[in-house]
Amino acid sequence: MNAHLYARVSPRPNVAESESIGNQIAAMRDWLKAHPEYTEAAVHTDRGRSGSDAERPGLLGALSALQPGDVLLVAKRDRLARDVVLAQVYERQITRQLGASVISCAGEASGDDSPMGELMRTILDAFAQWERQVIRLRTSDAMRRYQAQGRVMSSNVIYGYERDPERPGYTRECAAEMAEVRKITALRDQGMSMAGIARELGNTARTGAPWSATQVRRVLKRAG
């Protein structure tokens, strides 16, 4: 039987070494050595892709390559998806439409079509989704703390701040932009619409381009 190996690593920084593409492929090849009835057909990978992303080129390529009787092999079930509905959609497509199957090297009720096996897989998918949501919240909280400390978190500095030339990697308030932020907040409190605020402001202090309702909404979301 042909086995299509699929490995995925998420986009978040400092991903655990155990999740690396190389380690996942190594684990799957070790599994194949213990199961000589399966032959490696191809390796499909997605780097920097979330388990909640439905449009992953590597996974879609693996699905298009699967033939009846083939196996989609993953190191762990959460590599397939970290979303309950998405995991079930993929599994049904693989098993019912393509006539193939999904096997996790970690076991995780692979190949068990009993009600208990299906329940276990659903529980695992739910836990993977919960874990993804917790990681996202922790990352978001950490970024807010770092931003509050004035640290640069991306190539785009938050509106109202500028890079501090005296402290690389940190920001400082930009007087012109902060004046606009305060004006945006005041106009919002007066009941003005996002589009109205954008028209009132005219051009941004940062780029000189016209303000948009989307930019105004983004500034207000960060300002609280």
Q: Angle at Cα 23 formed by Cα 22 and Cα 28, nearest 5°?
A: 100
User: pLDDT tens digits for 7-46?
Assistant: 999 876 555 544 789 999 999 999 999 999 999 999 999 9
- Exposure of 75 by Cβ count < 10 A (0-12 exposed, 13-18 middle, 19+ buried)? buried
CATH number of 2-137: 3.40.50.1390
Q: Do residues 172 and 162 make contact, with C-beta atoms less than 8 angstroms apart?
A: yes
Nearest-CA neighbor of 158 among 214, 166, 150, 210?
150
Q: Do residues 150 and 166 make contact, with C-beta atoms less than 8 angstroms apart?
A: no
Domain residue extents for the chain: 2-137, 161-223
Q: Do residues 75 and 27 make contact, with C-beta atoms less than 8 angstroms apart?
A: yes
Confidence at residue 195, expressed as pLDDT on a 0 to 100 scale = 93
Confidence at residue 127, expressed as pLDDT on a 0 to 100 scale = 46
Nearest-CA neighbor of 49 among 57, 37, 41?
57
pTM for the full predicted model: 0.52
Confidence at residue 213, expressed as pLDDT on a 0 to 100 scale = 92
**Residues of the chain below pLDDT 70:** 12-18, 108-155, 224
Q: Which residues, 6+ apart, have CB-to-CB distance to 63 below 8 Å?
A: 72, 90, 93, 94, 98
Lookup result for tokens 């399966």: 38
Confidence at residue 172, expressed as pLDDT on a 0 to 100 scale = 82
Confidence at residue 40, expressed as pLDDT on a 0 to 100 scale = 97
